Chains A and B, each alone.
Chain A
Amino acid sequence: DSGVTQTPKHLITATGQRVTLRCSPRSGDLSVYWYQQSLDQGLQFLIQYYNGEERAKGNILERFSAQQFPDLHSELNLSSLELGDSALYFCASSVTGGPYEQFFGPGTRLTVL
């Protein structure tokens, strides 16, 4: 158990809908990262927050957004969902930013029908 929690574990929705994925980092970790894992794209970095502020963006679509709240939990919002958005979404956390190991949550499996 990494100490990072993600809810829900599974999510099934329809095209065009909007969903919110939630992540709670390990106690004491200030940095939260979101990743998408799909069969065709592999594991891709989406976005990072550090102590409430956006720190870096990766391959995140404009239809996707995230935020980190004062209690350091984070939410990833996915809107206007398409079939191709079906994937595993992982949250990770680390103590600070920088090249330190990240601890991954169990993931949320999103299925768009």
Chain B
Amino acid sequence: AQSVTQLDSHVSVSEGTPVLLRCNYSSSYSPSLFWYVQHPNKGLQLLLKYTSAATLVKGINGFEAEFKKSETSFHLTKPSAHMSDAAEYFCVVSDSRGGGADGLTFGKGTHLIIQP
């Protein structure tokens, strides 16, 4: 079974300061990990993905995430927050068995607030 824990339900940062959204995962197999973003009243957009290649993954809009197997973590970072980053962020896991349930398992989400 796979699961995801997003350690903060809300994160508030000032515009221009770094962003850190924390995620820990559990998977019985080699996981694929994703971060999705959901802006108000919008669908989900893929920010970045890890699928067993480089452990430091670069995504869109300046976001990065680092896969740390020893810590079972996949934290999302951005050096400098922008007002347009205000949204809900979901950490997502999919194990790489293939052939079985391929639905994604979502964390409960972190609401990112950007203060002017």
Contact = CB atoms under 8 A, between A and B. Distances in A.
A83 B29 CA distance: 37
A92 B90 CA distance: 15
A94 B45 CA distance: 13
A97 B104 contact: no
A99 B100 contact: no
A39 B44 CA distance: 16
Given A42-B108, A43-B106, A106 B42 contact: yes
A56 B96 contact: no
B51 to A, nearest CB: 6
Interface residues of A, number: 29
A88 B8 CA distance: 23
A31 B104 CA distance: 13
Interface string B85-116: 00000100011101111111111110000000
Interface of A: 2, 31, 33, 35, 42-48, 55-58, 90, 92, 94, 97-107
